[in-house]
Amino acid sequence: MSTHAEPKASDSGASATETFMRQQRSSTVSTDRVSAIASDALAALHEVIRKHEVTYDEYDGLKGWLIQVGKDGEWPLWLDVFIEHVIEEVNTAHRHGSKGTILGPYYVPGAPELPATATLPMRDDEPGTPLVWRGQVKSLNGEGLADSVVDLWQNDDDGYYSQFAGELDIPKWNLRGRIHPDDEGNFEIHTIRPQPYTIPTDGATGAMCRAAGWSPYRPAHLHVRVSAPGHETLIAQLYFSDDQYLDNDIAAAVKPELILDPDRDGDRLVVERGFELDPA
Ligand code: MBD
Ligand code: FE
């Protein structure tokens, strides 16, 4: 790990908020549905207040904290860390193919396009353990998917994501790329092993973790968004079997099916892992 100025929570938070707002699709939710969901959500919260006899001091603490989440731009972070895993669960329950998990706040569409065998964009002196990952994108009946795309993003050896590290001098598309597998859906990606991630500790989300005595860490992970015509897009993360945070992920996004166990090959790690996509 190199030494450098620590980016501020408000830097990554502001970037995540901007990124979300740029991609936000306008959605219309019916009055009936808003009323049903909002009524139940409020009733659940009211029950918690009764159960714990929440005081006015605690209520004011909550108000101040909610205001601060917005000021820090951390709503995308907070929601993806504490809520998204259940949204993902509910919305992928019908699938038979590869397991997915949460998207998180740091995906940026439009990463550089790369051929089936490629090195992710990285600096000449990019620190980290080299990782070679081979795999195939298939349909449920085992057929390789020719026009698939593996959109990959990950953090660097210092734990930072490009475009979400404030003033740090990380190239825009560092460790982000869209791999186009070959006619059989095969790909071979050369990258580095990602690092465990701590959500920013100097913002409101970090303050909540500290106040509750929770670890702010996520295990190291590779993010992927795997798509192919006629198939449901799979959003997943891949973890590493020797990671100390697998059982203590603040975002509750680890599933056993997503854990890699790479082989050592000299100074590199080598792993094989493909994806099976459900039909759309
Ligand atoms: C991450 O890197 C991440 O993947 C999630 C889900 C939340 C915060 C940071
Ligand atoms: Fe991540």
CA 149 to centroid of ligand 1, rounded, Å: 22
pLDDT for residue 69? 97
Atom of ligand 1 nearest to the CA of 197: 2
Distance 40 CA to ligand 2 centre (A): 30
What is the structure's pLDDT at 1?
44
Q: Which of 74, 103, 106 to mutate to test the pocket of ligand 1 (most atoms within 8 A of CB)?
A: 106
Q: What is the pLDDT of residues 14-32, one digit of tens each?
A: 788 888 888 887 788 999 9
Residue 159 CB-density burial (10 A; 0-12 exposed, 13-18 middle, 19+ buried): middle
Pairing assessment for the beta strands 234-240 and 259-260 based on DSSP bridges: parallel
Q: Nearest 10 degrees: CA dihedral of 51, 52, 54, 59?
A: -100
Residue 179, φ and ψ in degrees, nearest 5? -85, 135
Token pair of 122, please?
């990285």
Locate 273 and state its tokens: 């892992």
Averaged pLDDT score across all residues of the chain = 95
Supply the residue whose CA is at minimum distance from atom 6 of ligand 1. Answer: 104
Per-residue pLDDT tens digits for 217-259: 999 999 999 999 999 999 999 999 999 999 999 999 999 999 9
Q: Name, in order, each residue with C-beta under 8 angstroms of 114's C-beta and a sequence gap of 6 or more.
A: 120, 177, 178, 179, 180
Angle at CA 106, nearest 5°, toward 128 and 87? 125
* pLDDT average, residue stretch 144-164: 97
Q: Is 95 exposed, middle or buried (0-12, 13-18, 19+ CB in 10 A)?
A: middle
Per DSSP, the three-state class of 216 is: coil
Q: What percent of the chain has pLDDT over 90?
A: 89
Residue 3's pLDDT band, with cuts at 50, 70 and 90, is very low
Ligand 2 centroid distance, CA of 42 (Å) = 30
| Distance, C-alpha 212 to centroid of its chain | 23
pLDDT over 80 (residue 267): yes
Task: Over range 94-103, report the average pLDDT.
Answer: 98
Distance 222 CA to ligand 1 centre (A): 11
As a whole number of angstroms, the distance between CA 177 and CA 120 comes to: 6
Q: How confident is the model at residue 144, as a pLDDT?
A: 98
Tokens of 56: 């006015």
